[in-house]
Amino acid sequence: DGSCTTLPSVDRINAEINPRSKFLYVCSNETVNGLELHDLPRLASRVPLVVDASSDFTSKPIAWRRANVGILFACASKNIGHPGVTAVIIRRDLLNRANPMTPGILNYTTNLSAGNVWNTIPTFNVDVVGVMMEWLRDAGGMAAAEAVSTAKAKLIYDLIDNSNGFFGTPVDRSSPYRSRMNVPFCVDDGNEELTNLFLVEAWERGIVGLKTVTPFKSGKYLRASLYHGVSYDEARVLAGYMSEFMAKHAVRLPAARGPATSALSRRLASMVMSGNGGGGNSAATHVAPAAPAQVADDSSVITPPASLSSSPDSVADSTMTLPKNFKMNRYARLTADMFAGPSGVGSPPGELLEYDHEFEAAMIR
């Protein structure tokens, strides 16, 4: 919600931590306020770190020994796969210390002894993590992943910092803790009408997920999450759209700002009248718009495409329709056959095509 804009310093931690502590818990990237530890702290004591790296795992190298990391865990759903899997890395000297009441599913010693199959694992989810690990390795490893993450975040932060206040973010540019994974930002200091208009026009371009029920059901901040699933080119699309929106709606004199209700109302009305969600142009404010901000990039600001669809050009069969934003490459292990009907076999038996309404009624009763 923008209320937390910094993290405790290493000096403060060293001064306050009990050297006899069993561990120190650290969240390496805080997704709501956009705070990230780009380097894990090196403490004066030998208290091991327990690191929750769920939202930045594999986005940068980790100083395992220097930072005295004892355990690192990360859910897969942000950067390395599907929900339902958690990766855990633990030092061997910390095994065999579990409380006797610890359930087997949560006992790292039990899981390791069983070859990580003490319980029935979600095999598909695990396989996807393996595919992601291969992709990261082939793309250049952690050094390359960090360079891409830094570049993507810089695109968005530079635009915000150079927007003359039209866009804002709670973490100051001088902070060493700005997150590369999650960039919270507001439109015109939380102007509700402009924010809603920004979201509507973003949705029309295929840019979604900027405002979610959790954690941004209310409040002025949106959030751009730049996980591995968002490419550098897609980050450029977002930056280009933000620049274009600012050019249309930013005003030179703050005192001259008028309500943006008419712009949003006209935009929504045009969508309803056109019937396809894309008709009409939103009205500009009554004051001359500011010049577009320049995105700090090696190339010029690109004109955002109609959507962020990244369906492969190599799909020659025009009858094959992929889901919007579906990504397909050599790591996906997918083929066009997966989207086609059965071939070389007859139709399914008729009884398989009949719907048992009596059974449904019985189940309802």
Q: Identify the three-state secondary structure at position 64.
A: coil
- Give per-residue pLDDT as tens, 280-300: 333 333 333 444 444 444 433
Instruction: Please report the beta strands in the chain, taking only residues with DSSP state E, as ranges in sequence order.
Output: 24-27, 29-30, 35-36, 49-52, 69-75, 86-90, 167-168, 182-187, 222-225
Look at residues 66, 109, 108 and name the one whose alpha carbon lies nearest to residue 88. Answer: 108
Q: Residue 264 has what pLDDT? A: 61
Q: Measured between alpha carbons, how far is 19 from 41 in angstroms, rounded to an integer?
A: 15
- Give per-residue pLDDT as tens, 171-188: 999 999 999 999 999 999
Q: What is the mean pLDDT of the chain?
A: 77
Instruction: Examine the pLDDT at 20 and tell me if it is beyond 80.
Output: yes
Instruction: Examine the pLDDT at 313 and tell me if it is beyond 60.
Output: no
Instruction: Examine the pLDDT at 115 and tell me if it is beyond 80.
Output: yes
Q: Measured between alpha carbons, how far is 107 from 100 in angstroms, rounded to an integer?
A: 9
Instruction: Examine the pLDDT at 241 and tell me if it is beyond 90.
Output: yes
Q: Residue 232 has what pLDDT? A: 95
Q: Which residues contact 76 (CB under 8 A, 6 or more apart)?
A: 82, 83, 84, 85, 86, 87, 125, 128, 129
Task: Compute the average pLDDT of residues 213-218.
Answer: 66
Q: Residue 262 has what pLDDT? A: 53
